[in-house]
Amino acid sequence: MSELIVKPQAAPDAEGNVLRITPESAGWSYVGFEVYELKQGQRLTRRTDEREACLVLLGGLARVATDRISWSGIGGRMSVFERTPPYSVYVPSGDGFDVTAASDLQLAVCWAPGGGERPARLIRPDDVGVEHRGEGNMARLVHNILPESEPAHGLLVVEVFTPNGHWSSYPPHKHDRDALPDESLLEETYYYRVQPEQGFAVQRVYTDDRALDETLSVGDGEAVLVPKGYHPVSAPPGYDVYYLNVMAGPTRTWRFYNDPSHAWLMPKPAKTAE
């Protein structure tokens, strides 16, 4: 198995965790990611300490409390494939969260180093930017959950729906150099769901010199680490693919560089009358 693929546990542990990525396990500095499957009534409590967190309700209903504020009855979609934007909660460093599952709940917890004074807040579906990106068989649906236009210290969080037979994160791009304004250095995780669940996605991760060049078959519930390089995704015919991206790096901005061999696939700017 590729070291870039992180597989879920066969069953949740006592706290409901089924998948965990830490900076230490990934061999990098910024991004952490966890998935919990909580039964109705089950609780999850954490301190953020020096990190910040974004809790994404992948499916189900919950009550979420931080040190200073709480929200009851949040959630709505029961599956990511309802394709509606999720409820999420941003929790700053030096805070904590207590999640109580009001129904069976699948919860993603996105982590990055924190800092600064940003209050905890609820991110409602109406707060999520919905974008239809690409054309033809590069068309996909994007939900910008925690983009750089919204306050956080380091986290960037987005989910993408790729219809069967389509490509996303495409044309191939990378963001592995701290070379602003042209490119930002961002570590990234991809957490996958596939419908029907016996299917798979295909993701290639490669660098210009091909020192890293892997083509991955990714199953439902698995995650991919993107420490560097270009990282396009394909959804095979018959299988719709969802992924949740978490990015963080030294500067909270997404500036990517397209693979020059495939940059010609980028949409051309519309011509305007002179």
**Which pLDDT score, from 0 to 100, does residue 117 have?**
80
Question: DSSP secondary-structure letter at 84?
Answer: P
Is residue 44 a contact partner of residue 107, using CB atoms and an 8 Å limit? yes
Measured CA angle at 166 (ends 163, 169), to 5 deg: 100
What mean pLDDT do residues 107-120 have? 94
Indicate the average pLDDT of the chain: 95
- Tokens for 76, please give them: 């709505």
**What pLDDT does 266 receive?**
83
Q: Residue 233 and residue 247: Cα distance in Å, rounded?
A: 16
- Calculate Rg over the CA atoms of the chain: 18
63, two tokens:
């009550």
Q: Which CATH number fits domain 5-264: 3.20.20.70, 3.40.50.11540, 2.60.120.10, 2.130.10.30?
A: 2.60.120.10
DSSP secondary structure, 91-132, as one string? E-TT-EEEEEESSSEEEEEEEEE--S----EEE-GGGSEEEE
β-bridge pairing 173-174 and 257-258: antiparallel
Residue type, 162: T
What tokens were used for 174? Answer: 């990378």
Distance, in Å, from the CA atom of 133 to the CA atom of 141, rounded to the nearest integer, reads: 6
In terms of pLDDT, which residue wins out, 268 or 193? 193
> pLDDT band for position 271 (50/70/90)?
very low
Residue with tokens 């991919």: 224
Q: Is 125 exposed, middle or buried (0-12, 13-18, 19+ CB in 10 A)?
A: middle
How far is the CA of 168 from the CAs of 79, 142, 191, 196, 203, in angstroms? 21, 10, 14, 19, 10
pLDDT > 70? residue 217: yes
pTM exceeds 0.75 for this model: yes
| Neighbour count for residue 114 (Cβ, 10 Å) | 21
| pLDDT at residue 109 tops 90 | yes
- Residue 65 and residue 45 in contact, taking contact as beta carbons nearer than 8 Å: no
